[in-house]
């Protein structure tokens, strides 16, 4: 189930960046490229470009009985985003901030991940690389 998280934003072009350090977090590890910084606070991991041109925020945990469908609908409404669209795997995606930010909601009744990627205009390739490196622990 969570192996899907690494490909949740499949539409991104995946390239290669100069160097990256693998960083370990509570639930997963991922590569943080040079020029980006990572921070973990509780169940939220933020990876941000040092020039603030892009970011990836991954919130995860137990959904507390809430379905992934309900969580996606609630988040989309709170963020004033587009209607969530489900894929064949049961993941949901939506956009907000006039399409600048993309959200993927994935998981099941025991564990969820909400992945928010912003700054696609300048950072699509790097954001795709970071996501493709995500490995569950």
Phi/psi of residue 64, nearest 5 degrees: 60, 40
User: Is 60 exceeded by the pLDDT of residue 77?
Assistant: yes
Q: Tell me which CATH code domain 2-136 carries.
A: 3.40.1000
Q: What is the pLDDT of residues 99-131, one digit of tens each?
A: 889 999 999 889 999 999 998 777 889 999 999
Mean pLDDT of 68-79: 96
User: Is 80 exceeded by the pLDDT of residue 78?
Assistant: yes
CA separation for the pair 107, 136 (Å, rounded): 12
Q: What band does 5 get if pLDDT is binned at 50, 70 and 90? A: very low
User: Is 50 exceeded by the pLDDT of residue 30?
Assistant: yes
């Amino acid at each position: 189930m969570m192996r899907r998280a690494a490909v949740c934003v499949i539409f991104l072009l995946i390239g290669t960046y100069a160097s990256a350090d693998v960083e370990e977090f509570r639930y997963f590890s991922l590569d943080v490229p040079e020029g980006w910084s990572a921070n973990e606070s509780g169940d939220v991991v933020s990876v941000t470009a040092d020039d603030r041109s892009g970011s990836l925020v991954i919130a995860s945990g137990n959904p507390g009985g809430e379905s992934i469908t309900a969580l996606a609908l609630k988040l989309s409404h709170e963020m004033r985003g587009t209607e969530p669209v489900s894929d064949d795997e049961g993941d949901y995606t939506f956009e907000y901030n006039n399409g600048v930010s993309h959200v993927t909601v994935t998981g099941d009744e025991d564990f969820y991940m909400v992945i928010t990627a912003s700054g696609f205009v300048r950072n699509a390739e790097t954001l795709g690389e970071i996501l493709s490196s995500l490995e569950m622990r």
